[in-house]
Structure formats: C-alpha cells, structure tokens
Amino acid sequence: MSGASRTTGRSVLTGTAAGDGRAPEAASGPGRPCQQPGGRGPVTSSSHDWEAAEAALLAAPRDAHMLLACHLNPDGDALGSTLGFALGLRQLGFHRLQASFPGMFELPEPLRGLPGLDLLVAAPDVVAVPDVVLAFDVASVERLGELSEQLGRAPLSIVLDHHASNTRFGRINLVDPSAAATAVVAERLLTRLGVGLDAEIAECLYVALATDTGSFRFSCSSEVHELAARLIGTGIEPGAISRRLFDSRPFGAIRLFGDVLQRAVLEPAAAGGLGLVWTYATLDDLRRHGQRPHVLEALIDPVRCAEEADVACVIKQVDHSEWSVSLRSRGGVDLSTVAVALGGGGHRSAAGFTARGPIDDVIQVIRTGLATACGSAVP
C-alpha cells in the first residue's frame, strides 16, 4: 500500500490512514472535539455537502452499480457502517449492490454474523467501473488499496467518515470529526434519504457504534446514546451483541495476550512526563498460539488500563520488518498529531501508523513523536 514515508535512523515509517484495524475511540477527546493537525480546529462538512449527497443518491437510477467500500482489515465501525448503509440502499430499491474491502478477504469472528454479509464481494471480483462508490471509515484513498481504482473510475464518489485526518478524496465528502463513529454519519444520511431503521440495519449500526465507543465507555455525547436507543428500539439485543464483540475470545488468544502482556514496559517519563505503557506482539506469538492477526486488535484494551500512563501503545508485527502501531491516550496527548507526523492518522485519543525496522527503532520513534507533541525534550 502506498503512502507518505520518511526515514528515521534505520526505520522507515509508512502511513496508514486514521485507525489501525480496530476502531479508534470516540472522535472527541475528553470535553473537546477532535482537531486537525496543527491546531486548525475541527472541520465538518457543510449543509451543502449533505444536500449534494442526498440529491445525488435519490437521483441515481435504481439499477446503478453501487460499490460500498471500507478500509483494509475492517473493524466493527467500518464494516457495520458499510453493510448497514448497503441494506438501507436495498430498502430504497437499489439492487446492484456490492460491499467490499481491500486485502485478505477475511473477517474477524465477532463480525461474521452481521446482516448483509451476502452483499460482500472480494475486492478482485467487484465491478470494474461502478456508477457510484461510497467509502466508509476511510481517511485517505490509500486505505482503499486496490479498490481506489474503482473510486477513480466512478462518476460519483461519496466519502462518509469521522476522522479529523480525512483528506477529502471523494467528489462529495461527509466528514464529521465530532462524530463518535462513522455509523453516526451513515445513519444521518440514511435518515435524510428516508430509510426506515429495521432490525438488520440497526444491528449493523449498533455494532459500529459500540465498537468505536468501546461499548460506550469512551467520551460519548447525548446524540450517541439517543442513536443507540433508537437502534435498540428496533428489537436488537445489545447484550448479545456486546458479548460477541467484547467478551468472546478463543482460549489461544487468552494465552497469547498473557505472553504479550508479560513484556509490557512502563515509561513514566515519556510523553512529557505523562507516561507511556507499551508492548509488542510478533508473528511467532500468533503461530505459537494458533491465532489469526485480528485477535490482536483487542490487545490495546488491557494495556491502556495502566493508570500510571496517559499513552498506551501496542506494536503488532505484520511481516519480518513491518509493524502496525496502535496508540491510545486518556486525553493528555493529541495522538492525531503524533500519527500524522509519522505518516498515519486518527483522532486525538486514538491513532495509528505503520512502521518498518527493528522494534527498538520503532519504539524510539514513538517516544520521539510523543516528546515532540508534548513540547518536551526527546528521551
């Protein structure tokens, strides 16, 4: 996957767009909206953007080829928003619908029971020239991988997202950095289109919302809880959904987490004295416990519980010298500025990027990025 890159010592950092495979936390940090890098403040799509998206979709022929795409290694918000919106379009009478994502065509176990999975098509098999492409939870076109070709060919492309680092790569961009999840943006457009919530659409959107709010543990506005109430009102079972998303792990994953947590390191002086806790997981760890990479996306949760550190970090090996870096903050550090500087992206409280090089170089780059963001001396 292409992207901005930079060399730091022996490490090469190659950016991922906002997010890191698992859904980031709510787009707003404690008590304040997510901001663009450089302190320019939040940028939200205008009423004109919403009107343009609504008019374009309502005017589209019902036999138009619609491709709905989300990012590599889709998480609950990405896939839930995509499938929920696709089911909404089906309700409106569109019948040439395909949903897809780039890379390996494999879903995490908790997402394999979502409604609308019959619409999923592997990226190599999607229509070559769709009439409309809708991208969900994707902050930059690079995160669409091979599906970016379809977006470039389509006469109409609409981006629905909640990342402050979104590059506005669609012809119409519905980006709200204050939204807790892309599902909030998707539901808002579905309402404007006149789509009625049914249990299948609601389950998809609830999975998306619960994922990106950490089962509503992260900063949530009254709008988020009101939306959750409306979704639950369709008859879905939030308890069963939460157990599937957050409380179900293979025993091998539990053993794997134990190994990886044993090597966690606490650095109280890092991040300008706010503290950093970090650990890493290797491909050997996965092989030893017979696990797939997606199980590591939940590993950030026990790491971020360390009360002595504002910033938590999990570094996951992708291949011999490539690592996926997940960052979380309690609110003291704007992680979006850290990740964007390293070619990635995300929110104030949750961000990520891709790194290349030895693990010692990768963690030093993270320390340096945090020190710069906090205006402190490089450790």
**CATH fit for domain 5-32+250-374, picks 3.10.310.30, 3.30.70.580, 3.40.50.1000, 2.40.30.130:** 3.10.310.30
The b-or-e profile of 206-222 (16+ CB within 10 A means b, else e) is bbbbbbbbbebebbbee
The DSSP secondary-structure symbol of 89 reads H
Domain ranges of the chain: 5-32+250-374, 47-246
Parallel/antiparallel/unpaired status of strands 350-356 and 345-346 = antiparallel
Provide the pLDDT for residue 32: 28
pLDDT tens string 349-374: 888 888 999 999 999 999 999 999 99
Map residue 360 onto helix, strand or coil. Answer: helix
Within its chain, how far is the Cα of 174 from the centroid?
A: 16
In the chain, pLDDT over 70 holds for what percent of residues?
Answer: 87
Calpha distance 161→46 (Å, rounded): 14
Residue 19 has pLDDT above 50, yes or no: no
Residue positions counted in the chain: 379
pLDDT, average across residues 118-133 = 97
Structure tokens at 192: 């404007």
Q: Which amino acid is at 343?
A: G
pLDDT tens string 270-321: 999 999 999 999 999 999 999 999 899 889 999 999 999 999 999 999 998 8
Please tell me the pTM assigned to this model.
0.82
Residue 100 has pLDDT above 70, yes or no: yes
pLDDT, average across residues 201-226 = 90
Map residue 219 onto helix, strand or coil. Answer: coil
Choose between 80 and 36: higher pLDDT: 80
Residue 21 has pLDDT above 90, yes or no: no
CB half-sphere exposure, 287, CA atoms < 13 A: 6
pLDDT, average across residues 247-275 = 96
CB half-sphere exposure, 257, CA atoms < 13 A: 16
pLDDT, average across residues 189-209 = 97
pLDDT tens string 23-48: 333 333 322 233 333 334 446 788 99
Residue 4 has pLDDT above 60, yes or no: no
Q: Work out the angle between the directed axes of helices 199-212 and 76-91 (0-180°, nearest 10).
A: 160
If you average pLDDT over every residue of the chain, what do you get? 87
Provide the pLDDT for residue 17: 33
pLDDT, average across residues 207-226 = 88
Residue 219 has pLDDT above 90, yes or no: no
Is 3.30.1200.10 the CATH number for 47-246?
no
In order of 23, 89, 134, 242, 321, the CA distances from 67 in angstroms are: 22, 11, 6, 29, 34
